[in-house]
């Protein structure tokens, strides 16, 4: 079992569900970004997802797109992201997962990228625009470098497709709570909770199912955990606070409240 999967399953046994907050690396500056990453860890994050700034983020809503644009003004993309990770990894033990798109990886070098992840302490990589049937080589290279490759499914993913995803995904299966892009929404609907209840029994027990897109409150986090998810991912609600100028200690307190929602 992959190390990320092992960690999530251990949290499930001890604490209910894993909490995975998201930040855009380099937003608003590389130095300030590191302060916010530390705040996520101090607030109780079980894993941390870091976005790679990209000019065409098709899966991102306006809040995360704005964060990416801010970060692009201050970074040279992947190189700066790896530098940020190297620095925070020296003091943090929380697993770090990169959320990127395939184009930056291709520009960096598909073979070189997983090795760099391993060298800098990246534990997993999510590429929402890389189709599993076309990404076999990347998945293989990542596995050789001990880097997990979570894959995305939706409430409408057909049975056959879901089976293929669970065979290739490592770390966890990322269940998107709704169609469309990232962004805060007012509540968790029956589509999401029914999808969790339907998908979780059809996924091998050793592969965690983590839910993201739209979660923003402790209550919403709790709802997806109670519905059977192994972990909850919150992005836009945190990124929006960074964009509004919240201090790291304010982000830490917010994350601590969100983490409470995972406890059962």
Say if CB 222 and CB 216 are below 8 A apart: no
Q: How far is CA 92 from CA 44, 89, 136, 168, 230, in A?
A: 12, 5, 31, 29, 23
C-alpha 145/C-alpha 169 separation (Å) is 15
Alpha helix stretches (DSSP H) within the chain: 3-15, 30-42, 62-72, 78-89, 102-108, 112-120, 136-144, 159-168, 190-199, 218-226, 236-243, 248-260
Tell me, yes or no, if 27 is annotated catalytic: no
Q: Hey, which residues does 51 pair with through a beta bridge?
A: 24, 99
C-alpha 186/C-alpha 171 separation (Å) is 29
C-alpha 88/C-alpha 55 separation (Å) is 25
Say if CB 127 and CB 138 are below 8 A apart: yes
* Exposed / middle / buried, residue 121 (Cβ in 10 Å: 0-12, 13-18, 19+): middle
Tell me, yes or no, if 49 is annotated catalytic: yes
* Selected catalytic residue, list 27, 46, 60, 252: 60
* Selected catalytic residue, list 27, 46, 49, 252: 49
| Interhelix angle 112-120/136-144, nearest 10 degrees | 30
Question: Which residues are designated catalytic?
Answer: 49, 60
């Amino acid at each position: 079992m992959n190390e990320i999967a092992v960690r999530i399953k251990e949290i499930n046994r001890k604490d209910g569900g894993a909490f995975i907050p998201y930040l855009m690396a380099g937003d608003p500056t590389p130095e300030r970004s590191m302060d916010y990453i530390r705040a996520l860890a101090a607030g109780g994050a079980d894993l941390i997802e870091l976005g790679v700034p990209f000019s065409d983020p098709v899966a991102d809503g306006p809040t995360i797109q704005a964060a990416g644009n801010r970060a692009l003004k201050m970074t040279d993309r992947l190189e700066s992201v790896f530098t940020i990770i190297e620095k925070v990894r020296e003091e943090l033990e929380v697993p770090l997962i990169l959320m990127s798109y395939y184009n930056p990886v291709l520009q960096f070098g598909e073979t070189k990228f997983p090795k760099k992840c391993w060298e800098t302490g990246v534990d997993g990589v999510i590429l929402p625009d890389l189709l599993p049937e076309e990404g076999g080589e990347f998945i293989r290279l990542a596995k050789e470098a001990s880097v997990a490759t979570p894959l995305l499914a939706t409430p409408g993913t057909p049975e056959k497709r879901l089976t293929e995803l669970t065979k290739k995904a490592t770390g966890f299966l990322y269940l998107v709570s709704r169609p469309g892009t990232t962004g805060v929404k007012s509540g968790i609907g029956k589509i999401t909770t029914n999808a969790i209840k339907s998908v979780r029994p059809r996924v091998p027990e050793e592969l965690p199912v983590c839910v993201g897109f739209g979660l923003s409150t402790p209550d919403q986090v709790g709802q997806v955990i109670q519905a059977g998810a192994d972990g909850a991912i919150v992005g836009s609600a945190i990124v929006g606070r960074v964009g509004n100028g919240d201090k790291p200690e304010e982000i830490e307190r917010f994350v601590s409240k969100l983490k409470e929602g995972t406890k059962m």
